[in-house]
Amino acid sequence: MYGLTCGELARMINAEGWIKKPCKLTVIPLAGWKRSSGWRDAGLPWVPTSPHGPYDESALFQVATGLIGKIGGASTGIGYPLPFQGVAAPDVDKHKLATALNGYRLPGVRFVPVRYKPYYFAFSNQPIAGEQIYFTEPHRAPLTAINFYALEALKEVVGRDLFEAARQAQ
């Protein structure tokens, strides 16, 4: 999600002096790759990077909800077959939350009400509700900003301030 190929990143690390002794480096350009390309454009099969990265779009979802997962107080789908694909918690009106999030009119993304029981992590076997993220135009979606819009929507719709709850838990 840093916007570079591995080779470009390696060149940057050398050029910026981020390591004391730059390495000898040969980068072979990937044929047909464009800055706007996504994984599917590579024509390669997806190999899951972890149990929480089962799909080729997993990195997009992780950026969109990973901050919320670190703050805590809401499920991002981990512990259910939708890792990082939404925001849910107990006592949430899933329709109001989805309406609030869709009301922000974020480009390239829509939010659909969902209800489920995670089988592990913070809300084990407890019914929770919220929204599931669908990317309609992933290249336009404000991935990191989705975290903050979701935090604001939870505060607005449910009265749950996750930052305040995390601060009090410390």
What does the alpha-carbon distance between residue 55 and residue 46 come to, in Å, rounded to a whole number? 7
- On whether the pTM is more than 0.75, the answer is yes
- Exposed / middle / buried, residue 45 (Cβ in 10 Å: 0-12, 13-18, 19+): exposed
- Asked if 105 contacts 145 with a C-beta cutoff of 8 angstroms, the reply is no
> Could you say which residues of the chain have pLDDT below 50?
none
β-partners of residue 115 are 129
Fold entry, domain 58-169? Aspartate Aminotransferase, domain 1 (3.90.1150)
**pLDDT (tens digit per residue) in 52-96:** 888 888 989 999 999 999 998 899 998 888 999 999 998 899 999
Residue where the block lists tokens 């009119």: 105
Domain boundaries, the chain: 1-32, 58-169
